[in-house]
Structure 1
Amino acid sequence: MHARWSIPRGTLLAATLLAVTGTFLSPVTSSSAAQQSASAGPTVASAPGAVVLTQPGSADAPGYRLDVATGQLALTTTRAGRTVLGTAPGDTGALRFRSGGQWQHATGVTGWSWHDGVLTLTADTTVAGATATARITPQADRYQLDWDVAGGSADQLGLAYDLASAGHWYGHGETATPKGGPGTDEPWPLDSGQVVHSGFGPASYEMIDPFWYTSAATGLRVDTGDVMDVAINGGQDGLGRFTVDSPATYKATVFVESTPLAVYRDYIGIVGKPAKSDATYAQYQKPLWNSWAQYYTKVDQQKLLTYATELHDNGLDGHTIQLDDRWESEYGNLTFNPATFPDPKGLSDRLHALGDDFGLWVTLWINLDSVNYQYAADHGYLLKSAADPAKPCTVSWWNGTAGIVDLANPDAQAWYLGNLKKLMSTYGIDGFKFDTRFFDESCKPDAGYAPADYQRLGAQLTDQFDQQGVGVRVHWTTNAHQAGFVTRQIDKGTGWNSLQASVTQNLAISTIGYPFVETDMIGGSSGQPPATKEVLVRWAQSASLMPLMYSSTSPVETVDTTTGKPVVYDQQTIDLYRAAIQQHERLAPYIWDQVQHTLATGDPIMRPLFFDFPQDQAAYSLTDEWMLGPAVLAAPVLATGTSRTVHLPPGTWYDVSGHRAVHGPATLTGYQAPLGTTPVFVKLGAPGAAKALKALR
């Protein structure tokens, strides 16, 4: 089919859009469109004030209709007669671009054509002489939207959506917010808070992907390797702005599905599912103990050995003792500081005798005062400056000023690998925690490489070592999803708000395609006074119902590094922390089954309730419950108090603490959960339910 329509410039047509609702939109499992013939293809027709693209449904996809308003270009996606995604109205504009430091947008559509399965639209803009061209390519469960601007000297392009048109919004990953995100704030859904993330890019330290999905079972993926500026309800304006810092063609995929889980699976079909898990069964079974929040940089050989011995003596079993920051003489030397670690081989031997592996924190960032810096600079092993490629790039971080090892240089990579392998052979080091980033936007990529490629190179390098259950924070780029790394969260505070953020952040990270999640160190860090007894215990209980446990603050005793004074916890703290570890250890066979399922399907292990129960409207705004696989519903206490409200979706649930069956949907108000109780429920009849019941009872 081939059609063409045009409007003389300056002619205004009234735009007719289907009403955009601000109410909750539940996904559908069937629609009249889905009953149409699977062989029917998309059609395009003109209507008063609009161009209408209709994609019939099939057995596997619900079908949809896309109305393109022509008076001012706007896009409204409907499914079964209901709006499920609409662009921003008014002066914001659907297709936005920055020109001369001012925001502009597409206005009246001046022409369209439908040819070879592509709907092409041209439109005037708010810049005289500048024209926007959009190309929409429909598929059964999505459409590709590519657009660009000719004239007007645009330097940024973006899409803007009315958030309420699609219900609630999720995805993104770790969020930058005015309330302290991602360390103390991770809104869930995203529209319940404010996301203002200007440095949203492939070299970011945050675990992020340019993918968002909604309660209306629509989704957005922006296909770019450039930095973005993302604002979701910024200033509580009800809008989602997704801007790419580039004048190149804007490429996006809009998913239209029956459930949010189906949208997620469509996305995984593009980026790939994990090919493996980098963590072993033992690393899922027991916690990793890392020195960071326990001592920060005030660590030495005797302190680390005392730490490990106390954990061992109190039955707080783990698989590894990991020495974090400040074991080196200078950052990047990759040699032990003899003043604080006089006998690293002896330390390693003692830890191994306790039954622990020994790991080290490392980084590719080499401080200027390190002897390795000058050596690396002289040999061309460092990334070059984007401003002056004749010089090494220098970056500021929390430990000073540094250069970054250039992983695109094979000689630089071989040199760095040689240093790590020497540590392993000399001192009996079993693995590493790789920290910081592999690239910085102030640096210049090597010829033939883009910034995102350094994520891939970093993943390939770190994957050669045992990462000991803390993985590496790579994202966004090719192979990041397939690599199957454990994802540790960005540093959290030590209060209730950070515990709460650790839960919603795991839901965000696992549903953008990184399923092997854990919180930041149990009890938090961020240089704050240690967690109170209640926060530490509740955090351990929460983490016990996640894929992995990542520990640091000892429930025996720790140090308040803000005062230098010791903090000694009581015996109940030790006992309850130990009980959380033991519960997680008993769950390990069930969790390992979920790991294997994820490797087969790509589905997340820890996920929001609405992935499993899409018709349960209450599930879409829950911030303190999740599914661990198909059988376990976790509802731990994440705030002060000894009771909470628990929501149970449809089905028959076994209340582990209450020793009873509960028929859902049900809301349990005032559910009693003193400090020793962790509310958890098993869905009877679900895959793995018998194994989960055995573990939890």
Structure 2
Amino acid sequence: MTTLALALAAALPATLTAPHPAQAQPQSPARAPAPPAPRLTHTADDLTLTVPPSRAAPGYRLRMTTGQLSFTTLRSATTVLATAPGDTGALRFRTDGTWQHATRVTDWTWKRGVLTLTADTTAPGATVQARVTPAADRYRLDWQVTGVTPERLGLAYDLASAGHWYGHGEAQTPDGGPATDQPWPLDSGEVVHPAFGPASYYMIDPFWYTSRATGLRVDTGQVMDVSINQDDDGLGRFDIESAEPYRATVFVESTPLDVYRDYVDLVGKPAKSDATYRQYAEPVWNSWAQFYTHVDQAKLLDYAQDLHDHGITGHALQLDDKWESNYGNMTFDPKAYPDPKAMSDTIHDLGFDFGLWVTLWINLDSDQYGYAADHGYLLKDAADPAKPCTVTWWNGTAGIVDLGNPEAKSWYEGRLKTLMNAYGVDGLKFDTRFFDERCAPHEGYRPTDYQRLGAELADEYDLQGVGIRVHWDTAAHRAGFVTRQVDKGTGWNSLRASVTQNLAISTIGYPFVTTDMIGGSSSQPAPTKEVLVRWAQSAALMPLMYASTSPVDTIDPRSGKPVVYDEETAALYRQAIARHERLAPYIWAQVQQTLKTGDPIMRPLFFDFPKDQDAYTIGDEWMLGPAVLAAPQLADAPTRSVHLPPGTWYDVAGKKTVRGGRTLTSYPTPLGTTPVFVKLGAKGSAEALRALR
């Protein structure tokens, strides 16, 4: 039988081959009917897979041109995702430093629900083989190159075909992202992220979704090179630095929230919340932005006392970087910390838990490096496995404890627990990464496994509401960690980026989000009063508050001179903390709901209002659960516009009920005012009203 005949036979309606009714087995009344089967049609120019609508999915068509292979996804006759046109090519690969792409389809078969395609390419002697596997709300696209060994494989899309793009996580951009820039939507700026991979320090996942309710998940453990609208080219390029087959899933749904839920079904929703109720209700205070590495016992105790005396509450106080005698020693520097146990006791007496910053990185000048290296406790060098892998970081050159080696993990944890027991340490802030691409994984492990190993390690300790930066692996999704952002600057641009970045992180499957330390933490000049207060007001309307810069006084890291804030600063900061604490019962109810559904707590307006087209480009407002709309002032301005989706809303600051489906222009925002609205009738609205009034 010819290829065409086989395809037509496979595409015949199911009724032609179904058993006679008298021979069929009776269906159970409780069993849902099977979804309609996909069917294939073809012309001289294209192949079209049609997936009919079902009770749970809208259905779609996938049209593939055969003159030059391309993929166009349609829902209700409207294009919702299309690959890049012309010389860019849909299925692309690089060989000998030159990009090539698939061209004419030379053969295809449709068998047992799988469409297999073979295509020529622009590279002599190279062909592409692709498999499309349709399902009710998605299709798998797996493909590879034969005839040559490619350096990279890539998919390219026409961004405009899908509307606006979201997801990705913390994005590298030419404008300073992710520290000071996080475009929302992604296509409104430029994303140029060449080392997008599982060992990255950035919180990222290979998942993107669109305003037209499509989504892309790339299933890989390799480093990717991702660019979205680079040089305003209107393209999304998702390249893998590997010759391994490219595996992707394209979701086709009715709303972006449905796409998100499909993705979470794949990677897993949180099994628990790592943070406790108190950690949601009160901020954690961390020494980093207050002192950076210029910290010692006396300064830390003065910091704690100042917060206590000014009524600025918190559940924990963490000593961040620069307490060790050398990085990896896991012993206090005796000059800076003459009595660590007394320091810990005093912090406890002031009502705080005590926490420490820790890392698996051991500097070469640490007195533990030689011991760890001699015992094989460090990751090996990828190029020369006979020696430990050494990596340069912001505190020197180090080796990394190999969590894939059970003896190394036991040694590390034993030292950690001895330290905690000796000094009354209640919790930890794990920092840096658990793996580096320059290293070789332990025998039997892959690089991606180190996200799981890191998650399993951290899960044994109280992370005190600052969480941990693990991603990409399903264990990271299911662990339920709080996710803290990468360090931010101290200006308005970083405050705005902290909001859109939380929206990005929470909608790739990490729902328990917090911004970077309130006021920023990347060694820029100390935040102004206005930035510090506005950041606290913004964070008060998020799941958790992560604090460092004291609203009483701080130290400018550039000049080393003290910065003293006025009493209004401390008073407004206290108000923000009090508002967040009053919201804690409502927030905690959202945490429980997330554990059931996986839905993010802090989310873009269009997750709740998908028909509101204006909502898709708003990056300075968000929903906190189904009832609270937050629209804090994120700029140095006396007013702001507030978009209200359809419905009836209570304006908390204005103390009145307002109609939605419109934009309130020039809403007044003096420093003591934070616009926030409650959707009347929404689940939890009564609880939210009690808290916010």
Q: TM-score, normalization: structure 1?
A: 0.95
Q: For residues 454 and 434 of structure 2, what CA distance do their matches in structure 1 show?
A: 6
The equivalences for 1:513-552 within 5 A come to 513-552=509-548
> Shift in Å at residue 155 of structure 1?
1.8
1:368-409 CA deviation, whole Å, 9 max, x = no partner? Answer: 000011110111100000011000000000000000000011
Distance, in Å, in 2 between the alignment partners of 1:39 and 1:279 is: 41
State the 1:545 CA deviation: 0.2
Matched-pair contact (CA < 8 Å) for 2:52–2:59: yes
The residue number in structure 2 matching 1:4 is 4
Equivalents in 1 of 2:325, 2:2: separation in Å? 70
For 1:309-328, list aligned pairs within 5 A. Answer: 309-328=305-324
Partner in structure 1 of residue 41 of structure 2? 45
Listed as ranges, the matches of 1:401-420 within 5 Å are 401-420=397-416
**C-alpha deviations, 1:28-83, integer Å up to 9, x for none?**
xxxxxxxxx96421000112410011000111100000110011000000000100
Partner of residue 341, structure 2:
345
| Post-superposition CA distance 1:603-651 (Å, at most 9, x none) | 0000000000000000000010000000000000000012100000000
Cα deviation, 1:137-190, whole Å, max 9, x if unaligned, reads: 000000000000001221211100000000000000000000000000000000
1:243 to 234, 239, 244: 239
Q: 1:67-118 deviations in whole A, cap 9, x for unaligned?
A: 1001100000000010000000000000000011100000001111100100
1:6–1:111 Cα change, 3 Å: farther
Q: Does structure 2 conserve the Cα–Cα contact (< 8 Å) formed by 1:38 and 1:59?
A: no
Cα distance in structure 2, aligned partners of 1:128 and 1:581: 65
Match of 2:477, SS? coil
Q: Is 1:606 aligned to residue 597 of structure 2? A: no
Partner of 1:553: 549
Q: How does 1:542-581 map to 2 (within 5 A)?
A: 542-581=538-577
- The residue identity in structure 2 corresponding to 1:262 is D
Q: Distance in 2 between matches of 1:152 and 1:126?
A: 12
Instruction: Show the counterpart of 1:262.
Output: 258
3-state DSSP class of the match of 2:248?
strand
Confirm or deny that 1:387 pairs with 2:377. Answer: no
Instruction: Name the counterpart of 1:150.
Output: 146
> Are 1:86 and 2:82 matched, yes or no?
yes
Alignment of 1:602-681 (within 5 A): 602-681=598-677
Task: Kindly report the root-mean-square deviation, in angstroms, between the aligned alpha carbons of the 2 structures.
Answer: 1.2
Please state if 1:209 is matched with 2:205. yes
Tell me, yes or no, if the aligned pair for 2:83 and 2:156 is still in contact at 8 Å: yes
Name the structure 2 match of 1:475: 471
1:327-349: per-residue Cα shift (whole Å, max 9, x none)? 00101110000000000000000
Alignment of 1:66-465 (within 5 A): 66-465=62-461
Q: Which region of structure 1 is more displaced relative to structure 2, 470-479 or 599-608?
A: 470-479
* Paired residue type of 1:578: R
Is contact 2:6–2:110 with CA below 8 Å preserved after alignment?
no
Matched, 1:487 2:483: yes
What per-residue deviation string (whole Å, max 9, x for no partner) do you get for residues 389-438 of structure 1?
00000000000000000001111101100111011110100010000000
SS of residue paired to 1:4: helix
Cα distance change on mapping 1:46 and 1:152 into 2, 3 Å: same
* Unaligned 5+ runs, structure 1: 8-36
What do the CA deviations read for 1:221-259 (whole angstroms, capped 9, x no partner)?
000000000000011100000001110110000000000
Return the offset for 1:303: 0.4
3-state secondary structure, aligned to 2:645:
strand
> Could you tell me whether the CA contact under 8 Å between 1:5 and 1:111 is conserved in 2?
no
The offset of 1:5, in angstroms, is 7.5
Q: Indicate conservation of the 8 Å contact 2:362/2:369, yes or no.
A: yes
Offset at residue 6 of structure 1 (A): 11
Q: For residue 584 of structure 1, what is the amino acid of its counterpart?
A: H
Q: Secondary structure at the match of 1:650?
A: coil
Q: Quick one: which amino acid aligns to residue 177 of structure 1?
A: T
| Deviations, residues 496-531 of structure 1 (Å, cap 9, x unaligned) | 000000000000000000000000000001111110
Counterpart CA distance in 2 for 1:581 and 1:2 is 72
AA aligned to 1:116 is R
What does residue 17 of structure 2 align with?
none
Alpha-carbon distance between aligned partners in 2 of 1:426 and 1:65, rounded to the nearest angstrom: 64
Contact 2:280–2:545 at 8 Å: present in 1 too? yes
Which stretches of structure 1, 4 residues or longer, exceed 4 Å deviation after superposition? Answer: none
Question: Is the contact between residue 291 and residue 322 of structure 1 (CA under 8 Å) also seen in structure 2?
Answer: yes
- Counterparts in 2 of 1:138 and 1:421: CA distance versus 1, 3 Å: same
Q: Is the 8 A contact 1:471 1:488 kept in 2?
A: yes
- SS of residue paired to 1:541: helix
TM-score of the two chains, using structure 2 as the length reference: 0.95
For residues 663 and 474 of structure 2, what CA distance do their matches in structure 1 show? 43
Distance (Å, rounded) in 1 between the aligned partners of 2:347 and 2:305:
8
Question: Equivalents in 1 of 2:435, 2:634: separation in Å?
Answer: 36
Counterpart secondary structure, 2:208 = strand
User: Aligned to 1:683, which of 671, 679, 684?
Assistant: 679
> How far, CA to CA, are the matches of 1:170 and 1:383 in structure 2?
35
Give the Cα–Cα distance (whole angstroms) in 2 for the partners of residues 82 and 549 of structure 1: 43
SS in 2 for 1:122: strand
d(CA) in 2 for partners of 1:381, 1:686? 54
CA distance in 1, matches of 2:5, 2:172: 44
Q: Which amino acid aligns with 1:592?
A: W
Deviation string 1:297-349 (CA, Å, 9 cap, x unpaired) is: 00000100000011011111000010000000101110000000000000000
C-alpha contact 2:270 2:477 (8 A) present in aligned 1: yes
Deviation at 1:477, TM superposition (A): 1.1
SS in 1 for 2:109: strand
Instruction: Name the stretch that deviates more: 555-564 or 43-52.
Output: 43-52
The 3-state SS of whatever aligns with 1:498 is: helix
Structure 2 gap segments, 5+ residues each: 8-32
Residue equivalent to 2:11:
none
Is the contact made by 1:605 and 1:629 (CA closer than 8 Å) also made in structure 2?
yes
- The residue type paired with residue 471 of structure 1 is G
Change (3 A) 1:455 1:102: same
Q: CA deviation at 1:3?
A: 6.2
Residue identity opposite 1:224 in structure 2: T
Give me the whole-angstrom Cα distance separating, in 2, the residues matched to 1:419 and 1:319.
26
Percent pairwise identity: 72
Q: Which residue of 2 aligns with 1:583?
A: 579
Which residue identity is paired with 2:244?
Answer: A
In structure 1, distance between residues paired with 2:2 and 2:280: 57
